[in-house]
């Protein structure tokens, strides 16, 4: 065997696995879809040519392991990927003279729903195809999932959870700050579906479209996929849009879908073709990765050649500096485009960009402009050594195998937005009416320089009421919200200051330890701080450094006269859970969410952690008999598993 080919296969497997992990497990995009498909096809061709498939080859894998935050469960039937093609004639030949259903291949997150006795009993993500994450509580707040259905037997179906382009744009519009915006609907949907708090899911307008029936006992579908779709529609499900096709109509049907995608509001990255006759499709069996009864069709991307004229470097509130390619305008999928995000330094270097280079561009999924290839490859683009906002030095950092450019200046004006956004957030000072875009405008006009200035905005009444989007009513609402925020608590203030690694829980812990005495906290030495449960040396050093910064302390002194901090002495007699650790998992019935139960535990001196250890007092799980990873760990360590009611009765 050619050793060069083997080496190339190993290289391709490593590149593709890394890209897949970033995309599916971390919701990050390190290469374009076009580039991924090209490399995947190259690997497949080498495997066919050599007859060798490496153990870590992505052609033998279905996905990545589910994240730890949600319970895991094994699928009753493995969820396989689909073989794919971009050739329309190949799609017609695949029919082999038979009828099939042609439907959208939606671009979201695949979900398996299970119903018992007409009620939604379980929802599980695709995960790695064998094991997925249980997201039942979140599925119950999808916009169009029926909680009750007429059919009373066991029903299992698969579908795609998606967020429409219009909802995606509306959510991004409300965010304001460019770096905080979501990159695409799929990433937003993935994060929304897998939230631990389904209140967030409910606000995201997630919809579910059924595309496959797995089980429905006692129902005769007359060996027809279309009958299965009709049955699901009768149960109240939105079924993915489809057309019944045969060899003579398949090409025109594909063209119809192609025209529709230009204005289709639901993200789609292609089509799926499935044999109409169920028994025939099942008789074909499956390969190690693909079922033989279906095939995916992906759009052949429309490529246009153009010239790179500039790269803009946009500094964000996190310090991240994003590269955006500017090129001579070209027509793509019916619109004129001249800009495309390059995402990070890794992609810049991979493309070997240089001003004046000839590049090809396309729209990923016919929507998002991307650079496909650099035909020149001059590799002459200079990475900025200074921040475009503050002029201070930049630094290239590597996070999750991706190199990105950052501004090192903690006082960079772009970063002040982040500080003020945190300060006015719900868990901090809780000021309504101050979005990031509004804060950015106030900072640009010089209304805000430090936190104390927030409570002096009334002196700019005339300027604010004349700003776009503001009027007298908006101004009055903002002033009322600021006045309410003056009365606050010490944990809110400590959290709002933005001390590194100090979240809501740590802020509460610090305040309790120092008996809500701010002076004592400010004067604390690293040794005392690191001895506090949950703090440790690194966090202690950050707290100590923060309160030893003269400029920050001067700003804090100017802030304190503007606010009134409520007295909250720790009540020793109520600290019945002091020194005890608890873990919460699964859905709750008596408490609104896990955060509410966590606050109740912390109010009595207890601590809530994310994983079961030998120090855990008990695991709180209403499904005490489930086979979740946390339940298994608790049983291994001899830790009690109690229901919500048992916990309330025994501990609260």
Scanning the structure block, which residue is given the tokens 């608790």? 634
126 contacts: CB under 8 Å, gap ≥ 6: 63, 79, 109, 110, 111, 112, 132
End-to-end Cα spacing for the chain: 69
81 contacts: CB under 8 Å, gap ≥ 6: 62, 129, 289, 290
Distances in whole angstroms, Cα of residue 580 to Cα of each of 100, 149, 309, 610: 60, 44, 61, 14
- CB under 8 A, 24+ apart: contacts of 62-65: 62/128, 62/129, 62/130, 62/289, 63/20, 63/24, 63/126, 63/127, 63/128, 63/129, 64/20, 64/21, 64/24, 64/25, 64/128, 65/25, 65/127, 65/128, 65/131
For residue 313, what is the enclosing H or E element?
strand 304-315
Rounded-to-integer distance, Cα 378 and Cα 380, Å: 5
Scanning the structure block, which residue is given the tokens 């608890």? 582
Rounded-to-integer distance, Cα 320 and Cα 628, Å: 38
- CB under 8 A, 24+ apart: contacts of 596-604: 597/644, 598/505, 600/652, 601/577, 601/651, 602/505, 602/508, 603/574, 604/574, 604/575, 604/576, 604/577, 604/578, 604/651, 604/652
Residue 105 designated active-site? yes
Distances in whole angstroms, Cα of residue 346 to Cα of each of 283, 351, 428: 46, 9, 36
DSSP 3-state of 444:
helix
Rounded-to-integer distance, Cα 393 and Cα 406, Å: 9
572 contacts: CB under 8 Å, gap ≥ 6: none
Scanning the structure block, which residue is given the tokens 């890794």? 346
6 contacts: CB under 8 Å, gap ≥ 6: 50, 52
Rounded-to-integer distance, Cα 503 and Cα 494, Å: 9
DSSP 3-state of 307:
strand
Q: What is the CA radius of gyration of the chain?
A: 28
Active-site pick, 10, 72, 105, 441: 105
The torsion region of residue 383 among left (phi > 0), alpha (psi -120 to 50) and beta comes to: beta
CA 99 to chain centre: 38
361 pairs with which residues across the strands? 304, 371
Burial letters 186-210, b for 16+ CB under 10 A, else e: bbbbbebbbbbebeebbebbbbbbb
The values of phi and psi at residue 155, to 5°, are -125, 125
Catalytic residue list: 105
């Amino acid at each position: 065997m050619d050793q060069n080919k083997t080496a190339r296969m190993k290289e391709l497997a490593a590149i593709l696995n890394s890209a897949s992990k970033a995309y599916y497990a971390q919701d990050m995009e390190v290469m374009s879809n076009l580039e991924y498909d090209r490399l995947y096809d190259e690997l497949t061709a080498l495997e066919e040519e050599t007859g060798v498939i490496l153990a870590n080859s992505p052609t033998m894998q279905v996905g990545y392991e589910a994240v730890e935050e949600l319970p895991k469960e094994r699928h009753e039937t493995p969820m396989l990927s689909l073989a794919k093609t971009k050739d329309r004639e190949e799609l017609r030949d695949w029919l082999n003279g038979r009828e099939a259903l042609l439907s959208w291949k939606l671009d979201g997150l695949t979900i398996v729903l299970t119903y018992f006795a007409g009620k939604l009993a379980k929802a599980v993500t695709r995960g790695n195809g064998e094991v997925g994450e249980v997201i039942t509580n979140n599925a119950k707040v999808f916009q169009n999932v029926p909680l009750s259905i007429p059919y009373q037997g066991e029903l299992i179906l698969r579908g795609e959870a998606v967020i429409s382009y219009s909802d995606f744009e509306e959510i991004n519009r409300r965010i304001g700050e460019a770096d905080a915006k979501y990159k695409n609907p799929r990433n937003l949907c993935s994060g929304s579906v897998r939230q631990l708090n389904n209140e967030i899911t409910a606000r995201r307008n997630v919809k579910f479209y059924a595309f496959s029936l797995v089980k429905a006992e006692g129902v005769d579908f007359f060996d027809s996929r279309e009958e299965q779709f009709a049955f699901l529609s009768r149960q109240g499900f939105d079924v993915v849009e489809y057309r019944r096709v045969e060899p003579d109509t398949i090409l025109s049907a594909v063209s119809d879908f192609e025209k529709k995608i230009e204005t289709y509001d639901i993200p789609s990255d292609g089509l799926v073709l499935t044999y109409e006759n169920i028994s025939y499709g099942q008789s074909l069996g499956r390969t190690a990765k693909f079922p033989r009864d279906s095939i995916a069709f992906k759009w052949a991307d429309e490529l246009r050649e153009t010239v790179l004229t500039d790269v803009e470097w946009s500094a964000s509130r996190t310090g991240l500096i994003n590269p955006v390619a500017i090129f001579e305008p070209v027509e793509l999928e019916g619109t004129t485009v001249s800009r495309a995000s390059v995402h990070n330094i890794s992609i810049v270097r991979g493309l070997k960009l240089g001003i004046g280079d000839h590049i090809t561009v396309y729209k990923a999924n016919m929507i998002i402009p991307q650079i496909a290839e650099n035909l020149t490859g001059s590799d002459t683009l200079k990475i900025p050594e200074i921040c475009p906002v503050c002029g201070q030095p930049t630094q290239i950092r590597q996070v999750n195998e991706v190199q990105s450019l950052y501004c090192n200046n903690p006082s960079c004006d772009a970063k002040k937005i982040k500080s003020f956004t945190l300060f006015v957030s719900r868990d901090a000072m809780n000021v309504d009416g101050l979005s990031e875009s509004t804060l950015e405008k106030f900072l640009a006009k010089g209304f805000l320089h430090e936190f104390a200035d927030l409570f002096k905005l009334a002196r700019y009444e005339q300027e604010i009421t004349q700003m776009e989007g503001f009027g007298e009513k908006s101004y009055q609402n903002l002033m009322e919200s600021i006045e309410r925020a003056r009365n606050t608590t010490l944990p809110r203030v400590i959290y709002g200051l933005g001390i590194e690694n100090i979240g809501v829980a740590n802020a509460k812990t610090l305040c309790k330890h120092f008996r809500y005495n701010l002076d004592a906290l400010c004067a604390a030495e690293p040794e005392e701080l690191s001895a506090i449960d949950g703090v440790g040396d690194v966090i202690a050093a950050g707290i100590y450094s923060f309160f030893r910064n003269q400029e920050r302390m001067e700003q804090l002194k100017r802030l304190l006269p503007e606010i009134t901090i409520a007295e909250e002495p720790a009540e020793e007699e109520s600290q019945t859970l002091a020194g005890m650790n608890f873990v919460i998992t699964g859905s709750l019935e008596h408490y609104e969410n896990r955060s509410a139960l966590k606050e109740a535990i912390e109010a009595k001196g207890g601590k809530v952690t994310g994983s079961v250890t030998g120090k855990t007092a008990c695991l709180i799980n209403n499904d005490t008999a489930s086979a979740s990873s946390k339940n298994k760990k608790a049983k291994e360590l001899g830790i009690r598993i109690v229901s919500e009611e048992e916990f309330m009765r025994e501990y609260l």
